[in-house]
């Protein structure tokens, strides 16, 4: 009786033309209508109603076949695709069976099906390989739907042998409690397990190298995840809003903590960062309010904007001397930053910023092992008159001295190139000294290096007045150059062959002349600067 009324509805619609034109689909076989694909041998399940409000109205169960026959021609087609809007916004379907022949699901093939509770499949491997055009292509979209494999409900999902890639959106909002990804899998693509409401534990197999964007984001019950050591790339927001996640060990092959990776993981207490790490991305740990301690490994160099923003319990931060670039608000509203006194704040060997207002006419000399100045460190500090940058500096952050209207002297002791904010391609303004009055600010540089500073177009060359100082770090023998002869002179100084000259030989600026200064001088000549 159900099919009779449905067929009567289709006939009425076709005769009246009130709902769709005759060209809306190519043929009907059973309850479903189809378009013939361009290859002439396969077919796509399509919609019955153009405005997508009454697709397959009244049908409660859909069993998509592997083949469909055009009654007008008698030709049979392989059913490979569920088309755009095919079942969109259907309010009657409670169960759908999808065969292994399906290889593609188009945008909004399902959308939100309010009564759909069961999705039945027969081949889990083929399901992992389906191309989903978007989240709305997947019947799980909308949530509260169970996956059935060969009639059995899936609560513990194990990816079968032979699957090398889990495609985007494959299990988006799917209901299961545990996940085990086998050793055949190499890549898990974007949003594959996003917003799975009951997922609590996940184990990622030994050969996975890549996790895409948002793979596990919004899995609110995910409390434990084991990551393969072979993983070397994890995408943006992969674990964002996983509020039950408490402990994570990131594999040693990862050199970049992606943007928003653990954003809003407010239960996260312990994170082991990989020894290979170079960059901690923007807002990667934002809002991790349970995080109390973080140790950034030696070799990392950059902490990007808002990385630990609003980590209100974060009170202990270990930053190695290799970090020279710290962007704006990287540690905003952390317990550590909130307890810092007024004045210049350091973290590691980076001058992070100045708390309070710099008094008018202030001259600041950064400490000798400073490797960087944080983004906006002295932003709008009109009282800063003079800044001295030691030769150890490797980077100056964007707007680190922006809008310092009282700045009249910059003493740059570096004899090597450094990373320096960026240049505005419209205004050609170097943003490290944004809005600086270059005509009334003098740049002092080591003797013999004025041509080098003048040659750096739109950076140091913006200064109208560049003056050489009687300073060249590493020039132990005083010949105006830094080379191997200075190493010989320094060794002779240590051995007592020549008189000890603290001013010339103390490369490390620790008040001593010893073998550590020889190492530092060699690294300086080689262009490798490491200062503990």
CA 358 vs. chain centroid, Å, equals 35
- The answer to whether the beta carbons of residues 333 and 352 sit under 8 Å apart is no
Positive or negative, the CA dihedral 184, 79, 155, 211 is positive
pLDDT at 20 over 70: no
* Residue range 63-85, pLDDT digits in tens: 999 999 999 999 999 999 999 99
Q: What is the per-residue pLDDT for 422?
A: 75
Give the residue extent of every domain in the chain: 1-151, 354-469, 484-526
Q: What are phi and psi of 346, to 5 degrees?
A: -110, 145
What architecture (CATH level 2) is domain 1-151?
Alpha-Beta Horseshoe (3.80)
* Residue range 401-418, pLDDT digits in tens: 999 999 999 999 888 888
In whole numbers, what is the pLDDT of the chain averaged over residues? 90
Q: What is the per-residue pLDDT for 7?
A: 43
Q: Do domains 1-151 and 354-469 have the same CATH topology?
A: yes
Q: What is the per-residue pLDDT for 52?
A: 58
Return the DSSP state at 242: -
Q: What is the pTM of this model?
A: 0.85
- Long-range contacts formed by 243-252: CB under 8 A, 24+ apart: 243/267, 244/200, 244/220, 246/270, 246/290, 247/271, 248/272, 250/274, 251/227, 252/276
Q: What is the per-residue pLDDT for 492?
A: 85
- The answer to whether the beta carbons of residues 376 and 402 sit under 8 Å apart is yes
To which residue do tokens 């184990």 refer? 203
Q: What is the per-residue pLDDT for 427?
A: 63
- The answer to whether the beta carbons of residues 222 and 240 sit under 8 Å apart is no
Residue 247 pairs in a beta bridge with: 270
pLDDT at 51 over 60: no
* Euclidean distance between CA atoms 398 and 432, whole angstroms: 5
Q: pLDDT above 90 covers what percent of the chain?
A: 70
pLDDT at 89 over 90: no
Please choose, from the candidates 223, 184, 186, the residue with its C-alpha nearest in 3D space to the C-alpha of residue 201. Answer: 223
* Euclidean distance between CA atoms 190 and 232, whole angstroms: 16
Q: What is the per-residue pLDDT for 527?
A: 66
Q: What is the per-residue pLDDT for 528?
A: 63
pLDDT band at 526 (very low <50, low <70, confident <90, very high): confident
* Residue range 380-392, pLDDT digits in tens: 999 999 999 998 8
At the topology level, CATH places domain 354-469 in: 3.80.10
Please choose, from the candidates 115, 117, 108, the residue with its C-alpha nearest in 3D space to the C-alpha of residue 87. Answer: 108
């Amino acid at each position: 009786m159900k099919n009779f009324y449905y067929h009567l509805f289709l006939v009425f619609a076709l005769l009246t033309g009130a709902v769709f034109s005759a060209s809306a689909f190519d043929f009907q076989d059973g309850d479903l209508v189809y378009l013939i694909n361009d290859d002439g041998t396969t077919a796509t399940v399509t919609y019955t109603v153009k405005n997508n409000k009454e697709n397959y109205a009244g049908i409660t169960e859909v069993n998509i076949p592997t083949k469909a026959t055009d009654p007008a021609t008698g030709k049979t087609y392989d059913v490979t695709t569920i088309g755009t809007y095919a079942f969109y916004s259907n309010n009657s379907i409670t169960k759908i069976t999808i065969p292994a022949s399906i290889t593609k699901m188009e945008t909004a093939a399902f959308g939100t099906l309010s009564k759909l509770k069961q999705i039945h499949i027969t081949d889990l491997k083929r399901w992992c390989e389906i191309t989903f055009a978007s989240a709305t292509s997947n019947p799980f979209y909308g949530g509260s739907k169970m996956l059935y494999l060969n009639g059995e409900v899936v609560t513990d999902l194990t990816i079968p042998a032979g699957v090398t890639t889990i495609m985007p959106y494959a299990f988006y909002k799917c209901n299961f409690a545990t996940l085990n990804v086998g050793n055949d899998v190499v890549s898990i693509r974007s949003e594959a397990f996003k917003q799975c409401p009951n997922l609590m534990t996940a184990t990622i197999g030994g050969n996975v190298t890549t996790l895409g964007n948002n793979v596990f984001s919004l899995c609110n019950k995910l409390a434990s995840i084991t990551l393969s050591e072979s993983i070397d790339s994890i995408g943006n927001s992969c674990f964002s809003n996983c509020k039950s996640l408490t402990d994570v060990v990131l594999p040693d092959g990862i050199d970049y903590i992606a943007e928003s990776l653990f954003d809003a993981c407010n239960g996260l207490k312990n994170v082991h960062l990989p020894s290979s790490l170079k960059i901690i991305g923007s807002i990667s740990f934002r809002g991790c309010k349970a995080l109390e301690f973080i140790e950034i490994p030696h070799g990392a160099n950059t902490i990007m904007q808002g990385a630990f923003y609003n980590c209100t319990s974060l009170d202990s931060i270990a930053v190695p001397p290799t970090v020279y670039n710290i962007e704006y608000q990287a540690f905003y509203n952390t317990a550590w930053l909130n307890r810092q006194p007024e004045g210049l704040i350091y973290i590691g060997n980076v001058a992070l910023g100045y708390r309070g207002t710099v008094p008018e006419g202030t001259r600041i000399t950064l400490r000798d092992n400073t490797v960087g100045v944080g983004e906006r460190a002295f932003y709008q500090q009109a009282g800063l008159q003079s800044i001295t940058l030691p030769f150890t500096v490797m980077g100056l952050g964007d707007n680190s001295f922006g809008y310092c209207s009282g700045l009249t002297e910059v003493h740059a002791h570096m004899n090597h190139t450094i990373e320096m904010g960026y240049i505005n391609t419209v205004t050609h303004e170097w943003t490290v000294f944004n809005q600086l009055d270059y005509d009334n600010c003098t740049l002092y540089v080591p003797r013999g290096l004025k041509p080098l500073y003048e040659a750096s177009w739109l950076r140091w060359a913006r200064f109208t007045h560049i003056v050489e100082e009687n300073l060249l770090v590493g020039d132990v023998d005083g010949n105006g150059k830094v080379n191997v002869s200075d190493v010989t002179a320094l060794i002779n100084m240590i051995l007592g062959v020549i008189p000890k000259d603290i001013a010339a030989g103390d490369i490390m600026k620790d008040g001593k002349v010893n073998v550590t200064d020889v190492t530092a001088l060699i690294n300086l000549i080689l262009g490798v600067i490491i200062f503990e």
